[in-house]
Structure 1
Amino acid sequence: MVKALWKGTVIAESDRVIQMDGKRYFPHVSINPNYYIESEKHAVCPVKGRANYYHLSVNGNFKSDGAYYFPNPNPKVKVIQNYIGFDGEIEIREE
């Protein structure tokens, strides 16, 4: 089981995590939606496509654009559609 933690709180947990380019991606269904707020930020990755972002709000702590996902990834990386990645401040722990 792999967990994503921020400020000691589990914000995603799954045994179906995908690793790509040194990052781990969690299935969208594995997140706790209470901690995620849709961001207006978007970015374009030449390999993966357009990324959308979430802010994180956990126990009174706020992290701007701490999670991201690719709603329509490029065909070569379609496997990460419906998966969420996290920035470097989010602890990823395998148990």
Structure 2
Amino acid sequence: MKAIWNNKVLAESDETMVIENNHYFPAESVKKEYFKESDTQTACVWKGTASYYDVEVDGEVNKDAAWYYPNPTDKAKPLKDMVAFWKGVEVTE
């Protein structure tokens, strides 16, 4: 699977995990040069608190376009630090 935005591959992996129709990419598959920590956080009842990244490609910023769970609940432990995308980021094979 690949995550693509603004014609750049942000992440690529054969080891994604699909939860609630979102592909979660292993942290090591993410191209860190396109990611900047965001202050945004949201809560999920069963997964825990999500933290976000802004994605920046060629000077364009897609605010909070990626998220991850740094400290997931026990039920969601396999998602620890895996990254998912939205806000126009295309996830494709």
Shorter-chain TM-score range: over 0.9
Gaps of 5+ in 2: none
Number of equivalent positions: 93
Inter-partner Cα distance in structure 1 for 2:73 and 2:20: 15
Correspondence for 2:81: 82
Alignment of 1:1-80 (within 5 A): 2-80=1-79
Q: Which secondary structure does the structure 2 equivalent of 1:77 belong to?
A: helix
Using the TM superposition, give the Cα deviation of residue 88 of structure 1 relative to its aligned residue in structure 2, in angstroms: 4.2
Using the size of structure 1 for normalisation, the TM-score is 0.94
TM-score norm. by structure 2 comes to 0.96
Unaligned stretches of 5+ residues in structure 1: none
Give the percent of matched residue pairs that are identical in Structure 1 and Structure 2. Answer: 37
Aligned equivalents of 2:90, 2:16: Cα separation in 1: 14
Per the TM alignment, residue 8 of structure 1 is displaced from its structure 2 partner at its CA by: 1.4
Cα distance in 2, alignment partners of residues 84 and 91 from structure 1: 14
Aligned residues: CA RMSD: 0.8
- The alignment partner of 2:56 has SS state of strand
- Displacement over 2 Å in runs of 4+: none
Instruction: Give the SS at the match of 1:76.
Output: helix
